[in-house]
Amino acid sequence: MIRAVVFDLDGTLIDSAPDIWRAANQVLEGEGLPLVTFEQSRGFIGRGARVFVERMELAVTGANDPARTAHLHARFLHFYERAHEGTQVYPHVNETLEGLRGQGLRLGLCTNKPLRPTQAVLAHLGWDGLFESVIGGDSLPVAKPDPAPLLAVLEGMGLGLPEIAYIGDSETDAETAERAGARFGLYTEGYRKSAPEALYHQFRFNDYRQLPELIHG
């Protein structure tokens, strides 16, 4: 029996790609490096801030240098924590989350976004306290697609895998769910690069109004 729904954040509940792109180019401009396009930046999203920066650095310099990567990562986090003015909630998310809670379902959040930027955007959206358990990309020594962050959310809620559905948008989320053995719903309007059919999932949807019925299968 499903008792809770755990969500990814970027590309699943919110479209933060424009803000992430602006934060990336603020860093690059400050370092006198070439800027990245929106499509490049969007393609770097999904495996956490550190991997985003490594991909960005490789794209604009042709190599990764550990000292430079660390510096760029620190600068990126500075801007990333403040980068939410252009972030948009996907259509019908707010009413769906409230509807799920109204059904007695508990909500959790498992994202590769670092915890401080996660907390900042949750506060900006008025979602403080909405999610019972929140794990960010730097909350543990490992990040998704390792299943440990998802399992940590469940531990924080006192639930087991058969009691939850996990909702995400990307290859990273699908692999996380598959490795954990979790019921997975794929939101098809996010940041994935592969065809939906190619990704592990039990159900998929493109409109949040479809979700409440799909969760229970």
Contact 186, 204 (CB under 8 A): yes
Q: Which of 56, 80, 104 is the last residue of a domain?
A: 80
DSSP annotation of 108: E
133-185 per-position pLDDT tens digit: 999 999 999 999 999 999 999 999 999 999 999 999 999 999 999 999 999 99
Which string of DSSP letters, residue by residue, matches 129-180?
A: TTSSEEE-TTSSSS-TTSSHHHHHHHHHHT--GGGEEEEE-SHHHHHHHHHH
What percent of the chain stands above pLDDT 70? 100
Is the domain of 101 the same as that of 74? no
- Is pLDDT of 190 > 80? yes
Give the pLDDT of residue 46.
77
Q: Which of 57, 80, 103 is the last residue of a domain?
A: 80
49-76 per-position pLDDT tens digit: 889 999 999 999 999 999 999 999 999 9
Is the domain of 181 the same as that of 103? yes
How far apart, in whole angstroms, are the C-alpha atoms of residue 149 and residue 50?
Answer: 16
Q: Which of 80, 100, 117 is the last residue of a domain?
A: 80
Is the domain of 113 the same as that of 61? no
How far apart, in whole angstroms, are the C-alpha atoms of residue 108 and residue 186?
Answer: 16
Is the domain of 29 the same as that of 91? no
Contact 48, 117 (CB under 8 A): no
Mean pLDDT (whole number) for 98-123: 95
Total structural domains in the chain? Answer: 2
Which string of DSSP letters, residue by residue, matches 66-102?
A: HHHHHHHHHHHHHHHTT--TT-EEPTTHHHHHHHHHH
Is the domain of 25 the same as that of 117? no
Is the domain of 44 the same as that of 108? no
Q: pTM of the prediction?
A: 0.88
Give the pLDDT of residue 81.
82
How far apart, in whole angstroms, are the C-alpha atoms of residue 209 and residue 44?
Answer: 29
Parent domain of 43: 17-80
Residue 66 to residues 25, 27, 50, 63, 73: CA-CA distances in angstroms? 20, 17, 11, 10, 10
CATH value at residue 127: 3.40.50.1000
Is the domain of 104 the same as that of 125? yes
- Is pLDDT of 45 > 90? no
Give the pLDDT of residue 122.
95
75-102 per-position pLDDT tens digit: 998 898 887 888 999 999 999 999 999 9
Catalytic residues: 8
Give the pLDDT of residue 49.
85
Is the domain of 136 the same as that of 175? yes
Mean pLDDT (whole number) for 207-216: 95
Residues 6 or more apart from 90 whose CB is under 8 A from it?
A: 12, 13, 14, 15, 187, 189, 208
